[in-house]
Chain A
Amino acid sequence: MGRARAGPLMLLSTALLVPWVSGAVLVALDGRRRVVAWLAVASLAATLAVLGVLAADVLTEGAREVVTGGWPAGVGIVLRADALGVVFASLSVLVLLAAAAHEAVGGVRSRTFPGLVVLLGAGLTGLFVTADVFSFYVFFELAMTASYPLSAYGGKRRQLRAAVVFTAVNLLGSFIFLLSVAGAYRVTGALAMDRVAERMPAVTPNAALLIAAGFFIAFSVKLGLFPFHFWLPTVYAGARPAVAAILSGAVANIGAYGLLRFGADLFPEQLRHAGVALVVLGAASVVYGGVLAVARGDAAEMLAYSAIGQVGYVLVALGVGGPVGLTAAVLYSVVNSLNKALLFLVSGMRGALVAAAFAVGALSVAGVPPAAGFVGKLELFRTGVVAGSVALVVLLLVGGALSLVYLFQVYQRRFWRPDPSATGAASPLPQRLSAAVLALVVLAVGLWPEPLLVIGGHAVDALLAVDTP
């Protein structure tokens, strides 16, 4: 029990406990009071700081592992922070922080909102640092349970309908995930991820494929990929802007992370076999999302369909696979969640600064430099070139063109109307500033992409590394 063991244990448990404890306390308080809202923002900021320290630790020292409760490894639940998990955890908490700050400035409308956002942060953080399939499910449900009432935030009829649809569909996805966990335990007799990965190759191919398909469906429902997207437009367009930002920028990360972690780590064999199918599904998502986004007039609905299109790119990169494809998938997930959070937050606001922030987000989605999206798109093009497929490169170009069309169509409607009655009055200045800050983050990532690229590389190394117990 030297310092060597105490370090990661302290960091990991702090990262989990800070949002957990503060969330539990904040839920009991009246969230409409300004103090409580800002306390929630503060605790999310603290979580982000701890995760930042943890990330620095992981990137320099390699993955950190802790077995809970002092059990021997293999009996106790293993918490394992590697580069991929830490990246996704920090990103999700950043998005939650932006959304919570946005609401805190504008005035929270319900008692539970701040506490729920913090609890969602607790669930997400746990999910990204666990190395055990069943505790992944438990954290997954913790995060989702917090997000169900969040999707009803606002309490108007549209929000309620969004919440009912979101809850029903995602519960179904959760139970399909649970069925796959049961199957994985049945065929491997293990729950720790590295052991499942070790024993998977020995399993009969049919059973393994079935289990992998179950996981794939569960995560695709979360992401809103093409055949599982039916719920997404209703929910994203019906929820309030801050909630839509949380759902698309933080909750959807569960799907992206799950596909990467379970696909590349636990079922590499099945992922390779299904490569072509994944690329086709991803391409269908890209085209479908893009075309429908052009057809819809409403900003929120346009963004919802755009989200379907954007996750298609992640799936395409995953389908191509290999180090290049996985790197592109990680980077694009990160960039996409920043873009979507920014655009959804901005979609509820008005004013000159807001227009600028929207333009930055739009350029980033389309992949125009200097915004962050350019880095993601560049990696995707590399994937296309590595795969040696002309069709892929053409698809990327078409997708980019479509996203330019639909985003600037909405931009023109929102910010270039000649009569002010159509555009409405400007939002309060602090809120506009918060959007501008997030836009600056997107720009900064695009202008100085080196850290992101390095982290992405580390994350993929962690995925592809042969697990040494």
Chain B
Amino acid sequence: MILAFALAAAVLFGSGAYLLLKRDLVRMVAGIMLISQSAVVTIIAASLGRGRAAIGVGPGDGVSDPLPQALALTALVIGLATVALLLALVHRAIVVFRTAEQDELAATEAEHEAGLQRQRQADLEETGTGEEAETRVEKENRVWGERGRGR
């Protein structure tokens, strides 16, 4: 029984980890869900005594510890709430970014990066490393600008 629970928890965690590493945001959420379920299965397994049933107990038989089942219920509810929140966030992100790919989200950093160029240019002017530095900054700015417009 314990082995079955351990295997179930391990398979859930492994599948969750696999999905987490996907590029798609929705798959990532599914991965986190599976990992949360793996934690719940582990909690239930924590109460298993050898040869004592967790459910479907006949009259007069020994029962397993009820406390982890209360914990599992609590953990389920919390997990549901947090995953719902994450889904709402991801939905919002998909609406705003018009994509569900992680990489596309990361591309917004490039725009921010371009904003930092002005600072760098000011630095270069102060240190007086002159012309060639300035042209490099301008070139970079142009490249980032084109990428930004491409979105």
A residues bordering B, Cβ < 8 Å? 134, 137-138, 141, 144-145, 148-149, 152, 157-158, 160-161, 163-164, 167-168, 171-172, 174-175, 178-179, 181-183, 185-186, 189, 191, 234, 297-298, 413, 417, 422
In-complex Cβ contact of A168 among B28, B75, B109 (8 A): B28
| From B25, B28, B42, B47, residue with most partner A Cβ within 10 Å | B42
**Can you show 19 pairs from A to B with CB atoms below 8 A apart?**
A134-B71, A138-B74, A145-B81, A160-B96, A164-B90, A167-B89, A168-B32, A171-B36, A172-B20, A172-B35, A174-B82, A175-B32, A175-B38, A179-B39, A181-B71, A185-B43, A191-B67, A298-B116, A417-B122
In the bound complex, do residue B112 and residue A158 qualify as a contact, i.e. CB atoms below 8 Å apart? yes
In the bound complex, do residue B93 and residue A148 qualify as a contact, i.e. CB atoms below 8 Å apart? no
B residues bordering A, Cβ < 8 Å? 20, 25, 28-29, 32, 35-36, 38-39, 42-43, 45-47, 65, 67-68, 71, 74-75, 78-79, 81-83, 85-86, 89-90, 92-93, 96-97, 105-106, 108-109, 112, 116, 118-120, 122-123
In-complex Cβ contact of B119 among A141, A179, A189, A413 (8 A): A413
Chain A contact residues, majority secondary structure: helix
CA distance A149 to B46 in the complex (A): 33
Chain B contact residues, majority secondary structure: helix
Residues of B within 8 A of A189 (CB): 65
Residues of B within 8 A of A138 (CB): 74, 78
In-complex Cβ contact of A178 among B29, B67, B75, B90 (8 A): B75
Residue of B nearest to A160 (CB): B93
Residues of A within 8 A of B46 (CB): 182-183, 185-186
Residue of B nearest to A190 (CB): B67
Residue of A nearest to B108 (CB): A157
Residue of B nearest to A134 (CB): B71
Residues of B within 8 A of A137 (CB): 75
CA distance A134 to B29 in the complex (A): 24
Sample of 20 more A-B contacts, CB < 8 Å, known A171-B36, A186-B45, A297-B123: A138-B74, A138-B78, A141-B78, A144-B82, A157-B96, A161-B105, A161-B108, A163-B93, A172-B20, A178-B39, A182-B39, A182-B45, A182-B71, A183-B42, A185-B46, A185-B71, A298-B112, A298-B119, A413-B122, A422-B118
